[in-house]
Amino acid sequence: MQSAIDLVRRLDFWTEAVDPEPLSGGITNANFVVTCGGRKYFVRAGDDIPVHGVMRFNELAASRAAAAAGISPQVLHHEPGVLVLEHIDGKTYAEEDVRAPANLPRILPLVRRCHRDIPKHFRGPALVFWVFQVLRDYAATLRDGGSRMTARLPELLATADRLEAAVGPVDIVFGHNDLLAANFIDDGERLWLIDYDYAGFNSPLFDLGGLASNNGLDESQERWLLEEYFEAALTEKLWMSYQAMKCASLLRESMWSMVSEIHSALDVDFVAYTAENLERFERAMTDFEGLSS
């Protein structure tokens, strides 16, 4: 953390000496609020994380495009490993905020704008986030690293293959791919969507499934989400494809944590996080298998 603080403190962007204030909650970045010249700034510090497919050139391009699309704060400065962003003074959502009936109708249009509008502003090469390739790569990383979960990998990969087949053909949009509650900020007038570490072209079903699974939406909310997003009555085929992708998003979060157990230096209980997400994944798989039987 001290090295990140020193890096932020030395940025050429500041017009006076600054004292970065660390923020909790970052798992792939060190986050800070910096006050300079009476104005607050939000700063993200972090290098590429190849084992997770996090590439900072892509995060920068996506952040700029999201700001141009009007859904994310402006990028004010960047240097290798650091983004300085406009500070949004507002409430960072928790899972119960995402689930609140009054908020879902505000969240969904923001997700749709991410999917449809960011590509209009994105410059340069962009990544693709296909969850099933992510899972295959994670499995190889776990085998190479001698993970404690190595014995389960054949079973998990076989399940991933079944889910990929069940998803079937997909449309492609520009996905956020990490719709945790904390990536929504409510400033009292509007919502903002932040954090583009994993952004890239993907099926819209991944974001919709991740939004549901990360925030505990119930079935009626999920059905509403799909009908509103696609502006059509929900079909059995779409419901099955969505459920398969939701399971895959939970498996990805579980395997993300397994990889972090052996590769992250952050002081986070990743073993507990793995267990929590595997439990969510297994519950979702039970429900999915009930639908497909």
CATH assignment of the domain containing 104: 3.90.1200.10
Look at residue 170 and tell me whether its pLDDT is greater than 90.
yes
Over range 33-56, report the average pLDDT: 95
Please report whether residue 145 resides in a domain: yes
- Residue 293 is predicted with a pLDDT of 65
Is residue 66 classed exposed, middle or buried when 0-12, 13-18 and 19+ CB atoms within 10 A define those classes? Answer: buried
The alpha helices in the chain, defined as continuous H runs, are 2-9, 56-68, 95-99, 104-121, 131-144, 153-167, 204-215, 219-230, 236-263, 270-292
- Give the domain range for residue 35: 2-86
Contact assessment for residue 225 and residue 243, using Cβ atoms and an 8 Å cutoff: no
Contact assessment for residue 179 and residue 207, using Cβ atoms and an 8 Å cutoff: yes
172 and 123: one domain?
yes
pLDDT band at 168 (very low <50, low <70, confident <90, very high): very high
Share of the chain above pLDDT 90, in %: 92
114 and 45: one domain?
no
- Residue 28 is predicted with a pLDDT of 74
pTM attached to this predicted model: 0.94
145 and 179: one domain?
yes
> What CA–CA distance (Å, rounded) separates 32 from 44?
7
118 and 168: one domain?
yes
- Residue 117 is predicted with a pLDDT of 98
pLDDT band at 268 (very low <50, low <70, confident <90, very high): confident
249 and 117: one domain?
yes
**Considering only CA atoms, which of 103, 100, 101 is closest in space to residue 111?**
103
125 and 157: one domain?
yes
Look at residue 25 and tell me whether its pLDDT is greater than 70.
no
pLDDT in tens, 136-163: 999 999 999 999 999 999 999 999 999 9
Please report whether residue 268 resides in a domain: yes
Look at residue 26 and tell me whether its pLDDT is greater than 70.
no
Where do we find the tokens 């979702």?
284
Among 58, 86, 114, give the residue marking a domain's end.
Answer: 86
**Considering only CA atoms, which of 173, 188, 208, 176 is closest in space to residue 66?**
176
166 and 44: one domain?
no
Over range 40-63, report the average pLDDT: 96
Please report whether residue 166 resides in a domain: yes
Please report whether residue 92 resides in a domain: no
- Residue 266 is predicted with a pLDDT of 78
58 and 142: one domain?
no
The total of structural domains in the chain comes to 2
Look at residue 1 and tell me whether its pLDDT is greater than 60.
no
